[in-house]
Structures are given as C-alpha cells and as structure tokens.
Amino acid sequence: MKKMRFLLEVLVPALLTGMLASMAEGRTHYYDFVLKETNFTKLCKTKSMMTVNDSFPGPVIRIHRGDLVYINVHNQDDFGVTIHWHGVKQTRNPWSDGPDHITQCKIQPGTNFTYKVIFGEDQEGTLWWHAHSDWTRASVHGAIVILPTEGTTYPFPKPDGEQLLVLETTHRLLVDYGGTYLLRIVNAVVNVELFFAISEHNLTIVGTDGTYTKPKVTSYIMIAPGQTMDVLITTNQSLSHYYMGARRFTTFTANATFNNMTATAILQYRGNYNPPDEPSFPTNLPLFHDWESGLGFLPLLRSLATPEHPVNVPLNITTRMFITASINLVNYTLEGTEVSHLGASLNNITFMDPTSSILLAYYRHTSGVYTTDFPDYPPSYYNFTGDIHVHPLSVVATKVKVFNYNESVEIVFQGTNLQGQASDHPMHLHGYTFYVVGMGTGVFNNETDPKSYNLVDPSERNTITVPKNGWVALRFLANNPGVWLWHCHIDRHLTWGMDTTFIVKNGETPDTSILPPPAYMPSCAAQSPIRLEDFRDSVELVDKINVN
C-alpha cells in the first residue's frame, strides 16, 4: 500500500507534469534540404534553376506553435547559398538567421550546414523561407505553416479546408459550395508588390506575417515582396469557374515600361454543372497604377488584441530614429576611375557587405569589420518628396546601429524622390516583429503626425511598405539579442545597398543573451559586394523590372 501511495502521490504527478511540460515546449522536427539544379517548364519555357528537393516552390515546413525545427541544407549546386527563415524570430539565435555576410557566410558547393530554427512563443499563422544570397531566392523558397498549439484552435471558425498560394506559381483550387477556406498567401516575387483578387468573391483577412488580425473584409489585397497574408473566402456563388488574379502594383512613373502581365489561377466549384467557356475575371482587381487602391490598403489592418493574442506597444520610447530611404548617386572607383553610379541608401549610407560575418566579428570582438555609427537621422533635411535639384551623394560603408537590451525603439521611415526615383520600399526586419503605429503621405511632421498614432491595436508585421513619397512609423522592444538585418525586400534595392544592421546587446542574464555559436559555421571565402550600375543604364533597367 505504501508503494501504491508513492506511485499515486509522487510518480504519477511527476510524469504528468513532465508530459505537460513537453507538450508546452512543443515537438522537434527534422528536415533535409538538397540544393541543386533542376529543369522546370513554366509558361511553355524550360530552364534550369536552383531548387530545394527538386521542387518549385520548395518544401512546406508545417509545425505547431512552440515547435522547434532543424534543417540540414546540403549544397549540391555550383555556387554558394544561404537560407533565411523569413519572419521567424530566432530567439537569441542569430546564428541561424541566414543573411549572407551578416550572420553567416555562404554554404559552399559540396558542403552542408544545419540551421536551428527557433520560433517566437507567440508566432502562429503563415511565414516562409528563402535563399538570402545574391538573387537565388527567385527559385529557392517555400512556405512555413505554424498551426495553433495542439489542443487549441484558430481565433476564427475552423475552415473547411486550406490552400497555400505562393505567388509566382499556378493553381487550380477545388471547393465545395457553402464552404469556408483559408488561403495562406505568400508574395515570393523578387521585385514587385502585387494586387490579388478572386472574381465575385470577397476576401476576409485574418492574419499577416505570422500574427492574427481583426477580420477585415475586402474585395482585393495588396501584398508586398516578403509579406504573407491569411485570408478566408466563403464559396457562396453559383457553381462555376472563377479566376483568381494577381497583377503588379507599380509606383514608378506612369510612362515607365514594365511587364503588364496578369497572372491567373482558377477557383473551381465541385458539382454537376456545365463549366463556362472561360472563367469570369475579377473586375475588382485594381489596375497597375491604382495608387488609391494600393496605398489605401496599407493602413486597413489591426491586431487582434485579445487576452490570447495581446498587443504590447512600447509607450515610453528611449530611442528614436528617422531614416530616409532613397535611390541616389554613389561615387565609386571602377578599374581605377571614379564614376557615378545609381545606388540605394538609408540615411545616405549605401551599405557594403563586409568580407566576413558581422555576427562573428561582434561575438569575437573583432575590429575592422564594421563601425557602430549608423546615423539616427539623415545628414541634411530638405523637401524629401519634392523635385530635388542638388542630389546628395551617398557614402558607401558598413555602418551598424547598436541598441542596449530592452530599449523601446521608434523608427520613422521616410521615402524620398531623389533622382526622380520615388517608389514604394517594403522594409523587412530580421529577428523581430514591430507595430505599425502610423503611416501617411508627404513629409513626416514630428509635431502633428504622432497625434494620429494607433497605440491600441496597430498591426504587427515583419515587413511593411514605406509608401512612395510617404512615411511609416514603427515601434518595437529590442529584447532579442543578436545581429539583425534591416533591408528593402525589393532585391534590386537590397543589392544596391538599401540595408543596414542592428546589433542588440545582451541582457544581464544567460536567458537574455545570445546563444553560443554552433560547432560549425560556413567559412567566409569571398566578399559579396553591392551591385552598382551606370546611372543611364540603370534607369533603363529599372523601367524594365518585371514580375520575375
């Protein structure tokens, strides 16, 4: 009887506690990614491109909230590559964040590297992964689906089905009448924002960037490169075929030439009926230069702000930054001759990747790799959105910004019209989400514009568009120590230097400090510089950027 009492009173509760702790901590998943060249045929054209596991898009990582993932990446291609887990907070673990020459160097051909992917405790919804070296993400990418913790459910009625839409690929979605379906939408396009709509069906947005939002009913969405959206549709129309359409939203000048193709897929009802000769087209899909629809969509979303999904907007700001995002000129030495090139900058700094990893240099206290003087403000003030007659040159440098642990940060990004090249800039922060507390057109006014900030239920994002000739205000708590990249997610602007790096110092305890590095990190063999082009040639190329 004493033994039985011991079992019931001591061992069983201990076992149950351990089981519950294990469930709370989540499960561990293992994936193998094999990078190599694969032939694919799209739109009647066949070409060879780098893929993961011979698939395009690549494999879907499907987990539950709180799970841990290891991915062993084997590079069987002919050039180096890194992988970034876009939107994943990688709590205290910048070693596996992935951007080339920021947190690691490339995985060289014939080698492998294992990423430890640590999701934030609050992350749930749709994220994605993609290559983060050169332009390889065009074909090396895939979705991440984070389901609710086992035993819990969505903060909306459970859908009858779900479908991943990775914009760039074609789909045929089969549905039943009277159902509700969850679409997990990823904009994996390299250089453009996209409108998306479904003929004769409304969309209800319920999540963005791995966070939930208050339900918002709309006839279309505008989604920037790097962003994800979770959208519900109710299939309540006549049994038929309906086009889903995606069309670029361009903020270049109206006379610029570009690929004006509209990508389509089909929403097809099951049932006994005569299919139409052609699916109906979404007349609610905005046109390419529809500024009102494009910019008007940006401030629509609000965080869920419930006890289960709370909002924690920093109120007592300790660090304020005002950052201009510009396309401007850079003086650069080419084969011994100094010439002017078209580049991109933040606060007039055109970021130059170093020859080694910034993270490793920071962790080892190695000097000479970067400087810590990225400016909080631009070097001069002018009519940022007007016609500029004197164009300030940017400075090519590897400058970073350093934050103390737990600083409350507000950043206002201001778009400019330097070189007459004003356009949208979807800015992405690694290792964090942030609250979008304000947004507007024109030049930010630091006296009047903050009065309209939403500090109650602002949307929580990892990527947000700085509107053409406009501004956006963000807040976050710097509580994830490490080295984290900030950059425009239009790859052309990134490779021109529209990025910088934030270093968040350790806190005072081991639990608020960077994790130790893994036993092996890829070696840094070669520099990965910005790409600068002759100004006249660049203007022509910018005008010809297409969906791919």
- Domain ranges in the chain are 28-147, 161-298, 319-512
User: What's the pLDDT score for residue 23?
Assistant: 39
User: pTM (2 decimals)?
Assistant: 0.90
| C-alpha to C-alpha distance for 476 and 233, rounded to whole angstroms | 32
User: What's the pLDDT score for residue 9?
Assistant: 46
| C-alpha to C-alpha distance for 534 and 184, rounded to whole angstroms | 40
Q: CB under 8 Å, gap of 24 or more: what pairs does 109-114 form?
A: 109/75, 109/76, 109/77, 109/78, 109/79, 109/80, 110/75, 110/76, 111/75, 111/522, 112/72, 112/73, 112/74, 112/75, 113/72, 113/73, 113/520, 113/521, 113/522, 114/70, 114/71, 114/72, 114/73, 114/518
- How far CA 419 is from CA of 190, 343, 499, 508, in Å, comes to 23, 10, 19, 46
User: What's the pLDDT score for residue 516?
Assistant: 96
* DSSP class per residue in 89-107: --TT-GGGT--BTTTB--B
Q: Which amino acid is at 21?
A: A
Angle, CA of 381, 382 and 385, to the nearest 5°: 125
User: What's the pLDDT score for residue 172?
Assistant: 87
| C-alpha to C-alpha distance for 508 and 186, rounded to whole angstroms | 38
18: which DSSP letter? H
User: What's the pLDDT score for residue 25?
Assistant: 60
User: What's the pLDDT score for residue 5?
Assistant: 46
Q: 28-147 and 161-298: same fold?
A: yes
Under 8 Å CB-to-CB from 484, ≥6 apart: which residues?
94, 97, 429, 430, 431, 432, 501, 502, 503, 504
| C-alpha to C-alpha distance for 548 and 166, rounded to whole angstroms | 13
User: Along the 548 residues of the chain, how does pLDDT read in single tens digits?
Assistant: 444 443 334 333 433 333 333 334 689 999 999 999 999 887 788 989 999 999 999 999 999 999 999 999 999 999 999 999 999 999 999 999 999 999 999 999 999 999 999 999 999 999 999 999 988 999 999 999 999 999 999 999 999 999 999 878 667 899 999 999 999 999 999 899 999 999 999 999 999 999 999 999 999 999 999 999 999 999 999 999 999 999 998 876 655 666 778 889 999 999 999 999 999 999 999 998 888 888 888 888 999 999 999 999 999 999 999 999 999 888 877 788 888 888 899 999 999 999 899 999 999 999 999 999 999 999 999 899 988 656 678 999 999 999 999 999 999 999 999 888 888 999 999 999 999 999 999 999 999 999 999 999 999 999 999 999 999 999 999 999 999 999 999 999 999 999 999 999 999 999 999 999 999 999 986 554 444 444 334 334 333 333 33
Domain at 319-512, CATH homologous superfamily: Cupredoxins -  blue copper proteins (2.60.40.420)
- Going 300 to 304 to 305 to 310, the CA torsion angle's sign is negative
| CATH code of the domain made up of 28-147 | 2.60.40.420
| C-alpha to C-alpha distance for 538 and 503, rounded to whole angstroms | 32
Q: What are the tokens at 321?
A: 């930054």
User: What's the pLDDT score for residue 10?
Assistant: 38
Domain at 161-298, CATH homologous superfamily: Cupredoxins -  blue copper proteins (2.60.40.420)
Q: Are strands 349-351 and 395-397 parallel, antiparallel or unpaired?
A: parallel
User: What's the pLDDT score for residue 531?
Assistant: 43
Residues 398/353, Cβ–Cβ less than 8 Å: yes
| C-alpha to C-alpha distance for 516 and 363, rounded to whole angstroms | 9
Torsion of CA 149, 150, 154, 159, to 10 degrees: 140
User: What's the pLDDT score for residue 495?
Assistant: 92
